[in-house]
Amino acid sequence: MFVKTIALWCFLVTVKGKVRRFPDTLSFGVATASYQIEGGWNASDKGEHIFDHLAHTTNKMVDNGDVACDSYNQHERDVEMLKELGVDFYRFSISWSRILPEGFSHNLSQDGIAYYNSLINDLIDANITPSITLYHWDLPQNLQDMGGWRNPLMVDYFADFAEVAFKTFGDRVKTWITFNEPWVVCVLAPIWFSVSPAKSLNGIDEYICGHNLIKAHAKAYRIYDRIYRSAQRGRVGWTLSSSWHEPITQSAADIKAAERTLQFNLGWFAHPVFSREGDYPQVMKDVIAQKSLQQGYPRSRLPEFTTEEIAQIRGTCDFFGLNHYTTNLVRMQTNASKEPSYFDDQFTEILQDPTWLSSASPWLKVVPWGFRNLLNWIRKNYNNPETMVFENGFSDSGNTYDIDRISYHNQYLNVLLDAVEDGCKVSAYAVWSLMDNLEWLEGYNDRFGLYYVDFNDPRRPRTPKASALYFKSILETRIIERDLKNSRLF
Ligand SMILES: *[C@@H]1O[C@H](CO)[C@@H](O)[C@H](O)[C@H]1NC(C)=O
Ligand SMILES: *[C@@H]1O[C@H](CO)[C@@H](O)[C@H](O)[C@H]1NC(C)=O
Ligand SMILES: *[C@@H]1O[C@H](CO)[C@@H](O)[C@H](O)[C@H]1NC(C)=O
């Protein structure tokens, strides 16, 4: 029935001519992450990672990923779904402790490596490009016990892990994403992990984590450059998350506050790599230094890069990876706190418009125009880099006739085309996610998938939703309706 509906709908829009064509330079894919789909948490010699630990030793998670979508045992079915959709690429992540059980590169799991080899080979056979995220948050617990991203030696441990991946899979994998959403790793993770191993230090930990993570990324990139690039001819980058931040009024203070929020969210990681001068954004350096002194610290809570480090970090991305979902409103907030905190350093208040349509996730409102603004902000601030959208998606609480998800992607893809017409060089778009999966602390309640997964059935059967057929039709025709309201589906 859905297939028929879509055929009719394509016919209707073709007749009406209200369609837009995607440029040939844009490739389409879907994304997942290891802990959210794999299961097999103790398969063979896989080591424990921080989410295994959190799930098994605290009640912070409403569900765990012990089985998840069971992709560890069912990756053939995953590849079949990717073929059904007709995607150009599949973005997935490697679980560090599945290939290096103890976190260090002296001990490789042959079974872990065999799992990813099999997935990669199946993708290549299906003519689907594998795009690998090295770090999608599941840090080996051993390394967390040594301080996690607080520990400056993480730079070397991550680079060792990256090198194992380049060496083992790089003959077939040509797109590498070192980190998924550094902002989440450094700002949210200390909140998630406040139980272990030590209490988190607000306004200090976040910046130490960012500092080490940026250096770890740059080190992995330089290793690829020096040792692997000439033979493997792949590309390395990372993917940054950012909402658009819109000033709540057009007052100078609110406009500055919105810009400052963007710099603290996106600029924090983008500026050191993509700007001409490198290093952290000036506004972060100024504000954090000033607040730190006011609070009685002898120096800024934001660590400094050396001149040599700034040069080593600058330019270490072959593309600008972006994860984008929603928009916030920003108001300048004047009352300062005595307690240091990453949020207080921004002195802003973040809100959303109550009239914006909501998803099942309270933070995710449907605001397509913010996506266009953000893509143009990146174009203007970083000399129009090639931009690859590695996540964009909508959550609901479960229904295979998912009209709201179709509407979300229709609107965001139209805006992506607007941004391309504005001059933004967008070369990839990935839907989050291939299938419903473990939404971290929210468990299995917030569903983002194009495929519905029945988590009550031990076999974890997957069923295409209407949005899967919608996405498939876009990939086949490479056209999109300007406005879905005229279509027969609505
Ligand atoms: C793996 O974990 C499951 C629970 O998820 C447990 O039932 C099983 O015994 C464990 N297997 C091994 C080999 O420890
Ligand atoms: C590798 O790690 C696994 C899992 O922790 C352990 O069982 C095994 O003994 C280790 N092997 C070596 C050679 O260290
Ligand atoms: C600052 O003001 C806002 C809005 O009036 C209030 O919600 C917040 O708690 C205040 N923060 C501090 C640190 O006093």
pLDDT digits (tens, 9 = 90+) for 390-438: 999 999 998 899 999 999 999 999 999 999 999 999 999 999 999 999 9
pLDDT (tens digit per residue) in 136-159 = 999 999 999 999 999 999 999 999
Residue 449, CB half-sphere, CA atoms under 13 Å: how many? 30
Q: What percent of the chain has pLDDT over 90?
A: 89
Q: Compare 188 and 436 and report the one with higher pLDDT.
A: 436
Q: At what angle do helices 71-85 and 466-477 cross, to 10 degrees?
A: 50
Residue whose Cα lies nearest atom 10 of ligand 2: it is 107
- Known active-site residue 163: no
Q: What percent of the chain has pLDDT over 70?
A: 93
- What is the residue type of 123? L
Domains of the chain: 32-480 (3.20.20.80)
Burial of residue 490 (number of CB atoms within 10 Å: 0-12, 13-18, 19+): exposed
Q: What tokens appear for 387 in the block?
A: 């931009």
State the distance from the centre of ligand 1 to the C-alpha of 42, rounded, in angstroms. 6
Provide the mean pLDDT of the chain.
94
Helix, strand or coil, per DSSP, at residue 43: coil
Q: What is the mean pLDDT of residues 457-481?
A: 97
Helix or strand (DSSP H, E) at 420 = helix 403-422
- Torsional sign, CA 427, 433, 435, 438: positive
Cα–Cα distance list, 207 to 9, 36, 182, 218 (Å): 50, 27, 11, 17
pLDDT (tens digit per residue) in 311-346 = 999 999 999 999 999 999 999 998 766 789 999 999
Distance CA 362, CA 365 (A): 7
Distance CA 252, CA 255 (A): 5
Residue listed under structure tokens 């139209």: 414
Q: Which ligand is nearest to the CA of 334?
A: 3
Cα–Cα distance list, 300 to 214, 396, 448 (Å): 18, 42, 40
- Terminal-residue alpha carbon distance, the chain: 15
Give the pLDDT of residue 11. 46
Residue 327, CB half-sphere, CA atoms under 13 Å: how many? 23
Give the pLDDT of residue 18. 83
Ligand 1 binding pocket includes 397 (Cβ within 6 Å): no
294: number of Cβ within 10 Å: 11
Q: Cite the DSSP H helix spans in 275-317.
A: 282-294, 307-313
Mutate to test the pocket of ligand 2, among 44, 45, 113 (most ligand atoms within 8 A of CB): 45
pLDDT (tens digit per residue) in 211-243 = 999 999 999 999 999 999 999 999 999 999 999
Ligand 3 binding pocket includes 341 (Cβ within 6 Å): no
pLDDT at 199 over 90: no
Residue whose Cα lies nearest atom 10 of ligand 3: it is 335
Q: What is the mean pLDDT of residues 69-91?
A: 98
- Asked which of 22-26, 35-39, 191-195, 349-353 is least confident by mean pLDDT, the reply is 191-195
Distance CA 26, CA 403 (A): 25
Q: What is the mean pLDDT of residues 54-64?
A: 92
Residue 435's DSSP bridge partners are: 451
Residue 396 is given by DSSP the state B
Give the pLDDT of residue 14. 47
Helix or strand (DSSP H, E) at 115 = helix 110-125
Catalytic residue among 48, 391, 439, 481: 391
Helix, strand or coil, per DSSP, at residue 10: helix
Backbone angles phi, psi at 259, to 5 degrees: -65, -40
